[in-house]
Structure 1
Amino acid sequence: MATFISVQLKKTSEVDLAKPLVKFIQQTYPSGGEEQAQYCRAAEELNKLRRAALGRPLDKHEGALETLLRYYDQICSIEPKFPFSENQICLTFTWKDAFDKGSLFGGSVKLALASLGYEKSCVLFNCAALASQIAAEQNLDNDEGLKITAKHYQFASGAFLHIKETVLSALNREPTVDISPDTVGTLSLIMLAQAQEVFFLKATRDKMKDAIIAKLANQAADYFGDAFKQCQYKDTLPKEVFPVLAAKHCIMQANAEYHQSILAKQQKKFGEEIARLQHAAELIKTVASRYDEYVNVKDFSDKISRALTAAKKDNDFIYHDRVPDLKDLDPIGKATLVKSTPVSVPISQKFTDLFENMVPVSVQQSLAAYNQRKADLVNRSIAQMREATTLANGVLASLNLPAAIEDISGDTVPQSILTKSTSVIEQGGIQTVDQLIKELPELLQRNREILDESLRLLDEEEATDNDLRAKFKERWQRTPSNELYKPLRAGKNVYKCWTPNWLSHPGAPKILKNSLKKKK
């Protein structure tokens, strides 16, 4: 009865996690900083953790499972903190199919992918497989062993179910057969069936009511039957799994009928008792004839035979109750006490994140984008402020502000006037201004002569350039004078515009003198 199905662990090739992670850390965090040193040490620890979890055969005990769970929790934790992709941190993980024993020449099937999601799925598969092996090793003669077994089978069922729901999106391609949705879905159901069987064994050991035991057994039979149907036409699991599932389905049905027959006897339904015992005997006979290589049902078969013989004898001599057909019997109820344990990271209760203080990549990118937008906004605001300040200063200057609103109500001369007066005195005072006004006409005339001479030289140079260009044609490669001195000729127009007007105005010096006289 205590024959349980265990799952083989997947095997993997060694991968150096530290080197690419350290390289990324050194490129991302300041050199010589405490953060960089801390994260580099964490990367080395992660590499050691993978070797401990996957680089050697694991014993079937809780410590080995704890190591696997810690590694799974850790790779789940670092996934959002490092940019794992073929273009950035490229890590290729190679795993072999757990159920493929290979051939003499071809070797076993394996798949290599640069995907952390692939690594997560395979590691979780090993967590579930090791949990199933630990459960199968427990002593079922005590409550503690039954409790541990049921817990591990429910965890394994939940882990396989999680892989079924996530593996295709994690890989973006067809996985190996052992982690395909169909296979892990079947494994999840097998683990759940075995957990239900453990509760049946617990109820039997505690001598609970036969009605309850019958319902527990009937539900376990359903689970085993569904699992057998799922893998019956698919060559994905080891061959020895199929007969065990078929045998367990029949055995659980036989147990349900046996305990329901006891309930029928208690209710004085002696014909029903015999019908159910006969059905149980037929089921066990099928198991003994077809699957005796995998399960031993001799004791249970003898138990049913004795009960059936006694029931028939009592009915023949005392009760004479009609034995109904099996199809006329009421169906046995079902009671489910198990469920797949959901995978919720962290799974390990002792997990400590090696990169606990590291900010996820998405947060780093968001922070960088925020800082860039903040800098752009501040720079735009500063530029607008400076532009407004310049405009305000220009307007104030045109209105002679703030000088125009200086306090002149007192007896003292305003400081701004004193400052300007001192500046004028230092440069020669009013005498210098008078002298400049007297010299102005002469200076203007001299400037005009210089301008005319400059224009004459430009015209002369342009004429010479044109003559040489006409003479040498394409051999004369220098820039034409009219283009070369275009800025100078543009300035000529400005000076010629106002110089004649000033000189032709007879009262120009007089205007300046009168203005100066008013200011004195």
Structure 2
Amino acid sequence: MSSSEYFTIPLKKGTYVDLTRPITKYIDDVKVYGNSSDYQQALNELQRLRQEFIDRINEKNEKTLKSFYKYADQIVSLELKLPLAENQIRIKFKWQDAFPYLKSKTATALMLASGTYEKVCVLFNVASMATCVACQQKLDTDEGLKTAAKLYQQASGIFTYLQTIVPSVFTTTESTNDLQLETLSALASLTLAQAQDIFIKKAIQDSMKASLLSKLSQQCSLLYEETSKQMQSESLKSIFPKDFAGVSSVKQIVFQALAFYYDGLAYHEKKSFPEGLARLRQARDLMNKASVLLKPFPYAALQKLIENDVAKGEKDNSFIFHAIIPDGTKLPDVEKAVLAKPTPVENVKFSSDSVDLLERLLPLSVHQAVQKCEERRMSLVQTEIMKQREASNKLNNVLVTLNLPASIEDLSGAKLPKSLAEKSSKVRAMGGYQHLERIVNDLPTMLQKCKLILDESEKLLNEEESIDRQLRARYRHSWARSSSDALNRPMRDEIRKYRTAYNEALQADSVVRKRFATYRSAILLLSESDSDMERSLPPPNPAFANLANKKFVQDLQQLMVQVNQLKDERSKIEDKFKSTNIDFANKFMLAYKRDGAVYEESVSKSELDRVYGPLRELSAKNIATQDKLIKQIQLEEFKKQTSSTSSQRDAKLKELASAYDIFIELSATSDEGNKFYGDFTLLLEKFLTSIREFCAERNKEKDELMREMPEVPSQVPAVMAFHHAPPQTVCQCSFLFSFFRIFVQ
């Protein structure tokens, strides 16, 4: 049988898509891969390889197959690195059914925004092109036979592998005929049978022993039998051309005949003449049966050879042996020998000279692990900063209650206490009352803008989903695209996250305004000159003048020095927590290259302990030192209080000290809030733009489907759409927003 009489699998036709723009946008958005311009050349080459893959499906030769290998390697690698999906990098890949000319209820083409779908279709075409090239080989040469067997086994391996990943692709929509599990199974069986077929041809040319040839032929017969059975099943008989199942059925008979023929020769070699002739008769009968079923019959020469051997055997038995020939069906079954096996293709490069164009991109599993670790890191930092600030608030409350250090700086009351003068000077340097009032009043306006963007985003998704629901109800199974509620679920999750952030900011904003209103007059006084403040203070208690030289006052003054040192150290610790980062990506890549796994939980724990462990110990020591200081301060202050009585001036100084702490706190919170709202607004605007893009793409897709529908629904409004904002964008704003949480608590 010539190579042209082996089956080739038709190829799927694809359409042009722009890979460069959406991938570039994603790289810019996630900000973990560097500058997108660094990848431009690689992305352009990727685009060229795909277009070549699409354009050359009719050029069935080894050069085209090598080109197919290169793009297949790239898309397999790319799918592991980038989230090519409906709700992230939304690239709509459209591929036609490889068997579109047959009557079927399924779609003849399918468009999905799925990197796995693209990989499936690409690998399908690689397998199909492999069968085309295998059929072109010269089967009268060793090299041709080896190449054909290799390619058929590779095709079988691909079709087998596709069966494992196809279910994950078609979760919300039905696949085309060629990608149904039953179809892929039949194609895997057919190509494997053809590979075994080639091995038998090579074994015959190499004059292998008859016993081995019988076993090889038996296995080949079983493979063709399985292929024929699958292709004639109810689910597949309308998909494959009739000659696929018919010829497979004939080949099953032919190779069963060959198995009997060579088994008969093996019996003859063992001097078991009656059994050998019985097998030859079986082989002859099966060949005659096959020759009736297939015209023209490509095995006519082999049929003639078997008939001659049977005639010679009958003649020898009549004149020489006079043996009783047993019934061939009573003889032991012919054993089988497996040579052809599906070539494993998972995690294997097709092209030996293929270079990963986007090698610098992190694998998706590494990228996701980096995101999780960054969330853990930020949570740890926020927790530690919150502990520091709670400790600072506790210390400030104690000092304000005791009117320290103001009450021990100028016991005569002749002038403004030094600490209060320094606090007033700092307030004025920071813009004073007017600056704080302005930024506090700006917060509600900025917050309202965020709410409007969120409302608009949700409105667009609701409108697009409503239209899709109406059309789906109208056209039912004919409406062959993914449902909007399945696609926009991650987007709605993002909106819920953003709503939570908005509500927490709203609560924090309310607390800021209330605190500002409570201490408004005191903050206004702190913003005045030292002389104005001095005039506003009540006269001192004359009894305080006698305390200046007391030891407990000197001890308190020394303790205030330690308090300032402790605050300075705490500020440095907080800055260190904020500025320290960890290169998780490098750690995970080392593990990924070594073991193929990232071990996210164990790596993140060990790295966080290594980097932040010393800082946490330093922070805990600082807080413990503060607790000791507070006890000492309270003890010395008790001595001072037993020696004097409080005064109106003392109360006023306490109020101003509290106002200063509130001013510093509100200024920091409001500045951070301003930055948060600015970043949050930009984030939401980008999110809204992405939703509009999503709805526009869905609208375009809807219009294309509508043109294929039997009738056009009336009054279907236009819609808009979205490319999902990367999940880590919530993390980008969470650190800023944590200060609102800290303040509210």
In which range does the TM-score fall when normalised by the shorter chain?
Answer: 0.7 to 0.9
1:259 CA drift (Å) = 0.9
Post-superposition Cα deviations, 1:79-131, rounded to whole Å, max 9, x if no partner, equal 2433333333211111111112269xx99821122222221111111011011
Q: Which residue of 2 aligns with 1:159?
A: 158
Number of the residue aligned with 2:720: none
Q: What is the Cα deviation at residue 67 of structure 1?
A: 2.2
Letter in 1 for 2:126: C
Matched, 1:380 2:386: yes
1:459-503 CA distance string (max 9 Å, x none): xxxxxxxxxxxxxxxxxxxxxxxxxxxx99xxxxxxxxxx9xx9x
Contact 1:25 1:40 in 2 (8 A): no
Deviation readout 1:315-337 (Å, 9 max, x if unpaired): 10010111111221121111111
User: Contact 2:27/2:35 (CA < 8 Å) preserved in 1?
Assistant: no
Does structure 1 retain, via aligned residues, the 8 Å contact 2:161–2:346? no
Partner in structure 2 of residue 24 of structure 1: 26
Equivalences for residues 71-220 of structure 1 within 5 A: 71-101=71-101, 109-172=108-171, 173-220=173-220
Alignment of 1:280-429 (within 5 A): 280-293=283-296, 295-348=297-350, 349-359=352-362, 360=364, 361-383=367-389, 386=392
| Structure 2 CA distance for aligned equivalents of residues 47 and 516 of structure 1 | 83
* SS at structure 1 position matched to 2:242: coil
**Alignment correspondent of 2:644:** none
Residue type at the aligned position of 1:224: Y
Task: Provide the residue aligned with 1:255 in structure 2.
Answer: 258
Question: Deviation string for 1:284-303 (max 9, x for gaps)?
Answer: 1122222023x412211111
CA contact (8 A) 1:84 1:90 kept: yes
Identity %: 32
Q: 1:25 to 1:40 in 2, by over 3 A?
A: farther
- Give unmatched runs, 5+ long, in structure 2: 416-520, 523-537, 552-745
Deviations 1:258-312 (A, max 9, x none): 111111112222222221111111111122222023x412211111111111111
Cα distance, 1:314–1:15 mapped onto 2, change above 3 Å: same
Counterpart of 2:729 in structure 1 is none
Q: Judging changes above 3 Å, is the alpha-carbon distance between structure 1 residues 292 and 373 closer, same or farther for their aligned structure 2 residues?
A: same
Give the counterpart letter for 1:342 in structure 2. Answer: P
Q: Which runs of 5+ in 1 are unaligned?
A: 404-419, 429-486, 489-498, 503-507
Taking a change above 3 Å as real, the CA distance of residues 390 and 123 of structure 1, as seen in their structure-2 partners, is same
User: Partner of 2:62 in structure 1?
Assistant: 62
- The C-alpha deviation readout for 1:444-463, integer Å capped at 9, x for no partner, is xxxxxxxxxxxxxxxxxxxx
What secondary structure does 1:95 align onto? strand
* Compared CA separation, residues 390 and 238, structure 1 to 2 (3 A): same
Are residues 299 and 514 of structure 1, via their aligned partners in 2, closer, same or farther at CA, if it must alter by over 3 Å? closer
Aligned residues: 417
Partner of 2:704: none
Q: Specify the code of the residue in structure 1 equivalent to 2:199.
A: F
Q: Partners of 2:549 and 2:399 in 1: how far apart?
A: 30
Shift of 1:56: 2.9
Find the residue that maps to 1:112 and give its secondary structure.
Answer: strand
Query: Greater relative contact order (Cα 8 A, min sep 6): structure 1 or 2?
Result: 2
In structure 1, C-alpha distance between the alignment counterparts of 2:402 and 2:338, rounded to whole Å: 88
Instruction: Give distance in 2, aligned partners of 1:311 and 1:144.
Output: 36
Distance (whole Å) between structure 2 residues aligned to residue 160 and residue 290 of structure 1: 29
- The residue that corresponds to 2:238 in the other structure is 235
Contact 2:148 2:195 in 1 (8 A): yes
Q: What's the CA shift for 1:366?
A: 2.4
- Calculate the TM-score normalised by the size of structure 1: 0.72
Instruction: Give the secondary-structure state (helix, strand or coil) at the position aligned to 2:82.
Output: coil
Asked if structure 2 preserves the Cα contact closer than 8 Å seen for 1:278 and 1:308, the reply is yes
Task: Classify 1:6/1:169 alpha carbon distance in 2 versus 1 (closer, same or farther; 3 Å).
Answer: same
The offset of 1:385, in angstroms, is 6.0
Higher helix proportion = 2
Deviation of 1:55 after TM superposition, in Å, equals 2.5
Post-superposition offset of 1:395: 12
Secondary structure in 2 matching 1:240: helix
Question: Root-mean-square deviation (CA), in Å?
Answer: 3.5
CA distance, structure 2, for counterparts of residue 320 and residue 517 of structure 1: 141
Contact 1:168 1:175 in 2 (8 A): no
Change (3 A) 1:76 1:374: farther
Shift of 1:7: 0.3
Shift of 1:26: 2.8
Letter in 1 for 2:167: L
Q: Could you tell me how far apart the structure 2 residues matched to 1:512 and 1:376 are?
A: 44
**Letter of the 1:155 counterpart:** Q
The separation in 1 between residues aligned to 2:159 and 2:151, in whole angstroms, is 12
CA offset at residue 213 of structure 1?
0.7
Q: Counterpart of 1:47?
A: 47
- Greater displacement, 246-255 / 263-272: 263-272
The whole-number CA distance in structure 2 between the counterparts of 1:267 and 1:513 is 129
Indicate how the Cα distance of structure 1 residues 6 and 393 shifts in structure 2: closer, same or farther if over 3 A, else same: same
SS of 2:73's equivalent in the other structure is: helix
CA distance in structure 1 between the partners assigned to 2:331 and 2:380 by the alignment:
78
CA separation of 1:370 and 1:83: change in aligned 2, threshold 3 A: same
Give the letter for the 1:351 counterpart.
S
- Determine helix, strand or coil for the equivalent of 1:79: helix
Give the 3-state SS of the residue equivalent to 1:6 in structure 2. Answer: coil
Change (3 A) 1:42 1:370: farther
In structure 2, C-alpha distance between the alignment counterparts of 1:303 and 1:27, rounded to whole Å: 72
Larger radius of gyration: 1
Deviation at 1:375, TM superposition (A): 3.1
Instruction: Give, in angstroms, the shift of residue 371 of structure 1.
Output: 4.2
Q: Comparing 90-99 with 164-173, which one deviates more in the overlay?
A: 164-173
Once the two structures are TM-superposed, the CA of residue 518 in structure 1 deviates from its matched residue by 9.7
Q: 1:371 to 1:55 in 2, by over 3 A?
A: farther
Indicate the SS of the match to 1:87. Answer: coil
**Contact 2:154–2:343 under 8 Å retained in 1:** yes
Shift of 1:134: 1.1
CA contact (8 A) 1:12 1:96 kept: yes
Matched, 1:10 2:16: no
CA separation of 1:514 and 1:182: change in aligned 2, threshold 3 A:
closer
Please tell me the residue identity of whatever aligns with 2:250: A
Kindly report which structure 2 residues correspond to 1:218-229, keeping only aligned pairs within 5 A, or say none: 218-229=218-229
Partner Cα distance (2:22, 2:252) in 1 = 50
Cα distance 1:518–1:138, how it changes in 2: closer, same or farther (>3 A)? Answer: closer
How many angstroms does 1:392 deviate by? 10
Aligned AA (1:383):
R
